[in-house]
Structure 1
């Protein structure tokens, strides 16, 4: 009896339930940056600063695009949705990461881990399709300007944005339910700073070949297919711009598209490296660094890039701050 009691206490401490040779995990330990124990506080400060800039920049973009009549066009409507996705994506990952940087025991419940992973897949998919939609919007505006008003109507813009937001829902739910229904008998330590497919998959004790194959096919559909559509759109865009006789018009149009191209490059250069192969040969610590770039850095840079590269956005920001300053003086 005492042996059984000892075993029960041990199971309770580890928060897991033994079923024969299989351990049903009830929580995960996120190792995060424990290999950088000396730099945890510094990393907390840096991430908190970046997160603050990210939230301010993206919220400001949403507010300006909503409030300024000059930005009530499909292009800026899609930009507003991109900022909303970045806000949701950051809120899904960064607050928990900041808490874990301060805590010695970096745990996440089974349900919380599954929810976080599903939201990561959802927002990543939404951003892929939204970037493709933004490229199509630029294609219509530059290559078919006379038909732009009839093709990119307000109703069409809303429908396309809704498709982008909802496109990842079946993939996110399907992959998450399948992955978290598998037995985790190796460990409950996730060698990452958030619950992502690759580090969680390494804890599964079954053969995951079919699941990995499905993830690869899903990745091709939700990442590579939009990227192909973006590439085709820009081939037509560049060809059309080059054919224009006026250098000033060419420069203006290239400037309009350059912000979107920079955002696409930042997003795809990092996410494809991680998600195209769930069990890639990239070391866990290197994966964390790559993941930091698209989970922390890219959401911060997107509004900055669009603000610096787009004269209309800069003018809208100038008007907003001028109005705020004027109203402040009137109040005084």
Structure 2
């Protein structure tokens, strides 16, 4: 429902609270006057610009979470969890409790209770407010990025991830590589596999921490780890004792020589990295908004870094460059190059299509 519908179902207490929040001049005992005044106030262009400009980064992260939540209704626990996630490491009492955050947004006209007996204790966000917030946030973020100029040469991987997924299946089917005690292929086998891929990566060195980005990230470089986890998830390969083997399903896929859809790999990547980067879908969307032309990676980090929560030893910049932009490059969503201004990126047509897809705009 849109704002007008939700205001008409709201009780007088909430309408009065919203009117008081924005210092509206209207008859406090007239529901019709309250609704008309609030529609005029909250529907104005200045209102949304002021919200995006004046809200703290924590509040904007909370709204961003609501914007990309696909559920029609949210429980109080859902909202409290979103408020907690948006706070990053800020102590709960420093800017008011999480319940205070929910109450502020309810009194600000962003959250309304359901209209039926079953949904009266649930919450929803007006659809038109979501759309206007998305547009205003897009304008704000784009203001923060700098054009990078088209590089003389750039890298684009297209659908090579799908091709290398086939190469992985072929390698496993032919060699049935031996696994060490940790369940990983020996380095010699890994190097042989890398030599057969279109996009090879340096093998991992000893030391360092590796977790949170899929099961295979502990043993293999990020791109190979994604393909390995995807193939294992689809049950095309299986760790059978001390050997990695191709399953009958994997053999059928290989025999058909049919490339897996990049959309499927992209969707799997979103789910795989969600534990470490909970708001990854929204970040992909905003990157699509900001990088429709060549932009500098440095300015992209400046524009989006405040939306990214550090994950253990990965800071916001590292997550953006290594975990998001680089993987989007591997998935054919980005072009990357070097200009006079430094590293630059630009979305591909397919990347723009995926970044604006319904699964990100729910």
Q: Does TM, scored on the shorter chain, surpass 0.5? A: no
Higher RCO (Cα < 8 Å, 6 or more apart): 1
Instruction: Say which one has the larger Rg.
Output: 2
TM superposition score normalised by structure 2 = 0.25
